Amino acid sequence: MRVQPLGPLAFWFTLCVVLGLALWPGDGGAPRLFGWDKLEHIAAFVTLTVLGRFAYPGLARVWLLAGLSGFGIAIELLQMIEALNRSASPYDVGANTIGILLGLVIAAVAARLARAMGLHP
């Protein structure tokens, strides 16, 4: 049995950070990293997807896609809470989905390169 304690920890920590930033109250929301909201959504979900693929390699990609898509939708629903002074957007869900799909491709390429270099079984 192979133990990967840092993989799941990194995934869940990042998921909590993304949730915290997404629900950051205020007009402008959380501090900007890239300056464009959609790019930040894509980057967050690429990161979550890549971390998820390596933290849980036995998990089918479709379940990771479904879980992270549901998480993205839940964020948008939570942003409808008036007290947060945030706004939900279907375009954010689209950006999240693009990030998940890109993350799946990046993780697959990284796994293939790791296997070719003998770093991954």
Other CB atoms within 10 Å distance of the CB of residue 71: 17
pTM of the predicted protein model: 0.87
Other CB atoms within 10 Å distance of the CB of residue 9: 12
Q: Which amino acid is at 121?
A: P
In three-state secondary structure terms, 50 is helix
pLDDT band at 92 (very low <50, low <70, confident <90, very high): very high
pLDDT band at 1 (very low <50, low <70, confident <90, very high): very low
pLDDT at residue 29, as a whole number = 57
Rounded CA gap, 37 and 20, in Å?
15
- Mean pLDDT taken over the chain: 88
Per-residue pLDDT of 31-86, as tens digits, reads 666 667 899 999 999 999 999 999 999 999 999 999 999 999 999 999 999 888 88
Rounded CA gap, 49 and 54, in Å?
9
Question: How is the chain split into domains, by residue range?
Answer: 6-116
Q: How far is CA 53 from the centre of its chain?
A: 11
Rounded CA gap, 35 and 57, in Å?
33
